[in-house]
Chains A and B, each alone.
Chain A
Amino acid sequence: MLEVCELNVSYGPVEAVRNVTLTARTGVITAILGANGAGKSSLLKAISGLVPARSGKVFMDGADITSVPTHKRARMGIAHALEGRRLFHNLTVEENLKVAWEFRPGVGSFEEASRRVYGNFQILGDRRDSPSRTLSGGQQQMLILSCAMIRNPKYLLLDEPSLGLAPIIVRQIFQFIGSVCRERGTTVLLVEQMASLALQVADYGYVLRRGKIVLKGTGKALLGMDLGRVLSSAYLGGDPVEGR
């Protein structure tokens, strides 16, 4: 279980995350929604360690990891797929997978692991020696997900995996997230632009607005609300939304 307690993240004077407390229960897919500047990415980065917390704590399986450096958290089982389709563009597809595999502990050989990846996404296997920057957007996202999952992490943080991708690809990706993660029991924290899409696959959701949680509930419950009005005001302003 991943827990965040009264977390504050600031970039200089700009408070990105304000007193956020949330829980990502084991094996559950939790969605994090909100507009630009709502603090979603900063929240994920604080959990994986890329940005320091101004105050508050991060707990993984009950252990306080707030001051653990990023690469150690990665080795402890947190995988983070960054926003903006960040990859090692200077490395080939297979080298990206290797790098993602080599520095984290686990069982099995790289050959076995890569075979599984190529089984899930054949196109990656076909292009394994191509520089990853030559892949299309969708293919890159598949690679990113495969890199994140290659060591069967306990926790997967996904930052806007659908950004800029065609609907068909998005469907493929969410299918992967839904099936593989459930299969392996991975706990997923999913930050998504496509709120409705995210809520379809998520079991639980939080809505952030200007760094604070303003809404939370099960996926079904959130979907059942007047999504347009509720989320619209969270994103686009207008009537303030009551926290629950």
Chain B
Amino acid sequence: MKKAAALFADSRFLLAFAVVIGAAAGFASLSALQLGSFLVINILLAQSINLLTGLAGQISLCHAAFFGIGAYGSAIFMRDLGLPLPATLAIGTLASAFFGYLLSFPSGRVREFYLAMMTLGFGMIFYEVAKEWTGLTGGVMGFSDIPSPELRNLDVFGFPVTSVWYFRLLLATLLVVLYLLRNFLQSHYGRAFYAVHVGEVAAGSMGISKAATKRRAYALSAAVAGLAGAFYAHLVGYLGPESFGLHKSVEALVMGVLGGLGSLVGPVLGAALLTYLPDRLQMFAEYQFMIYGAILMVSFIVMPRGLAGLLPGRTRFSKRPARAGKEEPPAVAPHRFTPSEARGEALLEVRDVSMSFSGLLALDGVSLSLPRNHVMALVGPNGSGKSTLVNVVSGIYRPTSGRVLLQGADITGWRDYAVARKGVIRTFQDPRNVPNFTVRENILLGAHHLYRHGQVAAALNIPSALREERVYLRKVEEVMEVTGLVTVADEIMRDLPYGYQRIAEVARAVVSDPDVILLDEPAAGLSDVELVRLDRLIRHLRARDIGIVLIEHHMDFLSDLVDDVTVLDDGKVIYRGGMEGMRSDSAVVAAYLGVEEVPHA
């Protein structure tokens, strides 16, 4: 079993296998060819929903609509406008991608269940349109006489396409699509999908724009579904709206969920099962909806990773880099002093920032400045505004008033991913990593905003893309050495003890090449050994010309490490200076102890 799985994971074996199947098609029966074609179409559909729901985490209950847009699109342009197959396939794909793109816009602002309802509504709208727009789609009477191999009137540039060749075309298309998808998944684009799925806020802190990522996911997912639909149209020769109703969307979802969301092989398994079973088991058809419903009800509890979870191995989320060629640029970017700093301005400056939440003043005229090669502690009693300040600086909140400046540039109110790209990276109180990525893949996420190559380059694995991946993998390697994570580089993050997860998140911040790092209670929950490692890492970062802000309660950890400390109380800065001075400062002591009615001994 393991050997079989390993074999299929090898792309050369897969290619050879596909060629054999393609050749064997010449000897297959018509019904076998039909079944095989349906299987390939279902694999494409399952991959498409897996892209959006499994990887990007955007639940879709309307994939039947994307499927249908591709189907009707291709059918209409061929039967009524006489365009050739390659053109109509492309049109079907693009039309569907367009609608996916449109649907992505509201997804940015609303919670998941709103999104799910919205997709449900969209699916229903499509069904209604297909039923009502009789002029275009034939309505309930259906759209027939679509050129297909069955009717022997489908041809590509003059060559007639038989059922055998249609199947081969499908198979070839599937291989290409799988190849492109695999490359895409292994690129920083694919990693971004997963990052947004697992934590939008954390993704933003790495410079990943959740809106752009979601738009990309919707468009790509719809495109693949549209392509599957276009092929479907010419396979069956007839389209009726009832083929694209809720049950089709549910079927797509079940294929994805049953096969295993979030992997490349899962959709293949799900599609195979749901193509084969209804064909073989008559009883299956009668109870189909009940079976689908039951699968959906239990899958997340019983088999959260689907059938793919039963197989050994995992989906890889980084590219296998090209062999080392000529001299490559050093992975660590040289330090960049900006003119403003040469003038003596601070690296990070917070000017008179106030933040109020519906009347509640969380920050009240806070100012501070942070130079390079400096570690500043940010402390204060409960509710003093430390986290709010970090959220304002990192772009999660827009301050009610005041300015935030980085190297003299005004970044007030910038979105979180924009702030991250500019050079301010933050970590979170609870380490927010992608649980099923390896340590290496997680840290590599930090380099996301440094990548230059585009989506097409990523999908095609062109040499420059591979080179860039290699450069950043090397950088990750270096950072792992400094942080002591090399031994666990290929371990899955969720299996590791807390201390590793914490350090990995900091390592991810380092890879981003930041000017400023904001660490939110990094010492909490760490053992003494891990604290030493963290201490060393922070000193190393300071030496690397980075400015560091450290929110902490663990005063002992801070005492030797920090250069100075800013104390907040009730949203105001009440002290800025050294640790020793802080302990005897009356305002600080009062804030922590309460100065009211100080007793006389």
Contacts and interface: CB of A to CB of B under 8 A. Distances in A.
A167 B598 CA distance: 13
A193 B588 contact: no
B76 to A, nearest CB: 53
Given A37-B524, A195-B594, A13 B599 contact: no
Contacts of A160: 382
Interface stretch (A45-53, A92-100, A231-239): A231-239
A236 B382 contact: no
Contacts of A194: 593-594, 596
A238 B582 CA distance: 11
Contacts of A65: none
Interface in A131-186: 160, 162-164, 167, 170
A238 B383 CA distance: 23
Interface stretch (A67-75, A105-113, A220-228): A220-228
Interface string B521-556: 000110000000000000000000000000001111
B381 A36 contact: yes
A15 B525 contact: yes
Interface string A190-210: 001111111110000000001
Given A36-B381, A84-B383, A163-B383, A237 B558 contact: yes
A163 B553 CA distance: 18
Contacts of A197: 594, 596-597
B594 A36 contact: no
Nearest to A238: B583
B553 to A, nearest CB: 4
Contact of A200 (B383, B593, B599): B599
Nearest to B588: A236
A196 B555 contact: no
A167 B596 contact: yes
A2 to B, nearest CB: 24
Contact of B498 (A13, A36, A210): A13
Interface string B217-248: 00000000000000000000000000000000
Residue in B381, B559, B582, B593 with the greatest tally of chain A CB atoms within 10 Å: B593
Contact of A238 (B498, B525, B559, B598): B559
A14 B558 contact: no
A243 interface: no
Interface in A28-43: 35-37
Specify the main secondary structure of chain B where it touches its partner: loop
Interface in A1-19: 12-15
B599 A223 contact: yes
Nearest to A236: B583
Chain B interface size range: 20 to 34
A235 B593 contact: yes
B597 A228 contact: no
A110 B381 CA distance: 39
Contacts of B601: 223-224
Interface string B466-501: 000000000000000000000000000000011100
B155 interface: no
Contacts of B430: 12
Contacts of B345: none
Interface in B545-601: 553-556, 558-559, 570, 579, 582-584, 588-589, 592-599, 601
B582 to A, nearest CB: 7
Contacts of A37: 524, 553-554
Contacts of B596: 167, 170, 194, 196-197
B382 A163 contact: yes
Nearest to A194: B594
A238 B585 CA distance: 14
Nearest to A195: B593
A193 B589 contact: no
User: Which residue among B499, B525, B598 has the maximum number of chain A CB atoms within 10 Å of its CB?
Assistant: B525
Contacts of A224: 601
B553 A164 contact: no
A196 B382 contact: no
A228 B524 CA distance: 26
Contacts of A227: 593, 598-599
Contact of B592 (A35, A199, A240): A35
B382 A193 contact: yes
B528 to A, nearest CB: 12
Interface in B417-434: 430
A232 B593 contact: yes
A46 B353 CA distance: 38
A195 B596 CA distance: 9
Nearest to A224: B601
Nearest to B526: A13
Contacts of A162: 594
A193 B570 CA distance: 13
Contacts of B594: 162, 192-198
A33 to B, nearest CB: 9
B593 A237 contact: no
A170 B383 CA distance: 18
Contact of B556 (A84, A164, A237): A237
A78 B592 CA distance: 28
Contacts of B381: 35-36, 193
A204 B554 CA distance: 26
A200 B599 CA distance: 8
Given A13-B497, A164-B383, A236 B555 contact: yes
Nearest to B595: A196
A13 B582 CA distance: 30
A232 B589 contact: yes
Given A13-B497, A164-B570, A223-B599, A235 B383 contact: no
Contacts of B582: 236
B583 A14 contact: no
Contact of B553 (A36, A84, A231): A36
A231 B593 contact: yes
Nearest to B430: A12
B553 A228 contact: no
A67 B382 CA distance: 29
B382 A12 contact: no
Contact of A237 (B382, B525, B555, B597): B555
Most buried by B among A193, A198, A223: A193
A123 to B, nearest CB: 20
A121 B216 CA distance: 59
Given A167-B596, A232-B584, A237-B559, 20 more contacts: A13-B499, A14-B525, A15-B525, A35-B592, A37-B524, A170-B596, A193-B594, A196-B594, A196-B595, A196-B596, A223-B601, A224-B601, A227-B593, A232-B592, A235-B592, A236-B555, A236-B582, A237-B579, A237-B583, A238-B583
11 contacts: A12-B525, A35-B381, A35-B592, A37-B554, A196-B593, A197-B594, A227-B599, A232-B583, A232-B584, A236-B555, A237-B558
Closest 9 CB pairs of A and B: A237-B555, A194-B594, A13-B498, A37-B553, A14-B525, A13-B525, A235-B592, A195-B593, A236-B583
